[in-house]
Amino acid sequence: MAVEQVDPDHTSQRCSHTDCGFTHEDNRNGEQFRCLKCGYEINADYNGAKNVGLRYMRKRQHSLRSSPTSGSADAPVDVRVNGGMLNGDGYRSTAES
């Protein structure tokens, strides 16, 4: 995901709802923003301002974290939760018997 480059247009099209971040041109309808993904509704300008604020905060956190001693700051983070790998019930019954 290219998160570094966010132009003003995209900030106004991006859902500022926490944990969503869905970006689509149809999200914005004039002065009103409505996320096509999560249904979040907000004033479009305020939504854009929120995104700029969030971006600023993230950059700040990033610069605070990336100290010379921590080399893993720029490592790509790709966490995938793979549910269904562990069958708790089956494992448990086998262990108890």
- Applying CB under 5 A, the residues found at the interface with Zn ion are 15, 17, 20, 22, 35, 37-38, 40
Q: Where are the alpha helices (DSSP H) in 8-87?
A: 8-13, 44-65
User: Judged by CB, which is closer to Zn ion: 37, or 58?
Assistant: 37
Question: What is the nearest approach in angstroms of Zn ion to the Cβ of residue 50?
Answer: 12
Question: What is the nearest approach in angstroms of Zn ion to the Cβ of residue 6?
Answer: 16
Give 14's strand partners.
23
The one-letter amino acid code at 21 reads G
Q: CB of 25 within 8 A of CB of 36?
A: no
Here the tokens at position 46 are: 């305020």
User: Judged by CB, which is closer to Zn ion: 9, or 41?
Assistant: 41
User: Judged by CB, which is closer to Zn ion: 1, or 95?
Assistant: 1
